Amino acid sequence: MADLPEKTTIVDAQSTARPGLWTRITNRLPFLRRKRGIAIVVIAILVIIGGGLAGLAALHNRSSRNGDTSTGSGGSEGGSVPNDDAIKSDAYFYGDSPAVYPSRFSPDPYLSGALASDTVEGVQRAGVITSTKHFIGNEQETYRMPHGEHQAVSSNIDDQTMHELYLWPFQDAVRAGSANFMCSYQRINNSYGCANSYTLNGLLKTELGFQGFVVSDWGALYTGMATALAGLDVAMPNAGEYWGSKLKSAVNNGSIPETRIDDMITR
């Protein structure tokens, strides 16, 4: 049998009801029962909100500055422009995949390569692969993708400039062990970045000895079999109408050697 205090509690509906939220809070934080305590909490909340808004504004301003920086000599629809600016390098996370940009670290190729190398090593030491992008000559946003009937801009780069300026930071990323490279939207010397055998097979995989896999920028497949033969290994986010059953047919009719497919899936 319950004792008297318990009995009186049982028969009292008010006493058996769970205390309200504010009552529970003030029981744990008695200072909130005073006006000064409430004022302190309100001020703290406003400071947190203000700090968050200031951070968002700073991020927006930084993004705006990056977006306003043109790195080519100007653009014309479907035209070709020389790339006079140096490689830049940056790193950011796309979802769970860290991307290393030879794009915003520095205008100096040597420094840019050193920082890209350290970034690759640091990230991959944590057990996450890096994606180094965009290979190569992606130095302006204007017309970097095909639009309407016009082709994307072409980054026309001579061999010496390619090796001494643009390729250098990517070389350091390869030596650091970057597991993945992403080819670019725009053209390089009038051939699209993800269908450019000179840059993918020649420079990246042969000259630099890159052992990882090459993925396309999102939707950067503009041709079918040419991209596979040029050195592209993975189509992102999908191959659309270009690969799939057509890739199988190309192997069956001898257009693409099966060893190339083996290379694509084992890198």
Q: For the residues of 179-209, what is the DSSP string, one character each? A: -EEEE-SSEETTEEGGG-HIIIIIIIIIIS-
Active site residues: 217
Omega prior to 60 cis, within 30 of 0: no
Q: Is 229 left (phi over 0), alpha (psi -120 to 50) or beta?
A: alpha
Contact 209, 241 (CB under 8 A): no
Q: What pLDDT is attached to residue 101?
A: 72
Contact 134, 169 (CB under 8 A): no
Helix and strand totals (H; E) in the chain: 11, 9
Q: In one letter, which amino acid is 16? A: T
Tokens of 92: 């950011």
Q: What pLDDT is attached to residue 158?
A: 96
Percent helix, strand, coil in the chain, to 5, is: 50, 15, 40
CB neighbours of 70 closer than 8 A, spacing ≥ 6? 140, 141, 142
CA 39 to chain centre: 43
Q: For the residues of 32-96, what is the DSSP string, one character each? A: GGSHHHHHHHHHHHHHHHHHHHHHHHHHHHHHHHHHH---SS---TT-EEE--SPP--EEEEETT
**Cα–Cα distance list, 210 to 27, 42, 76, 130 (Å):** 64, 56, 34, 13
Q: What pLDDT is attached to residue 25?
A: 73
Vertex 184: Cα angle to 140 and 130 (nearest 5): 110
Q: What pLDDT is attached to residue 62?
A: 54
The whole-angstrom separation of Cα 69 and Cα 60 is: 14
CB atoms within 10 A of CB 129: 15
Tokens of 222: 């503009």
Per-residue pLDDT of the chain (267 residues; tens, 9 = 90+): 544 344 333 333 344 455 667 677 777 777 667 777 777 777 778 878 877 776 666 665 555 544 443 333 333 334 443 343 333 344 444 344 467 776 567 888 899 899 999 999 999 999 999 999 999 999 888 899 998 889 999 999 999 999 999 999 999 999 999 999 999 999 999 999 999 999 999 999 999 999 999 999 999 999 889 999 999 999 998 887 888 888 889 999 999 999 999 999 999
The H or E element spanning position 169 is helix 167-175
Instruction: Record the pTM.
Output: 0.64
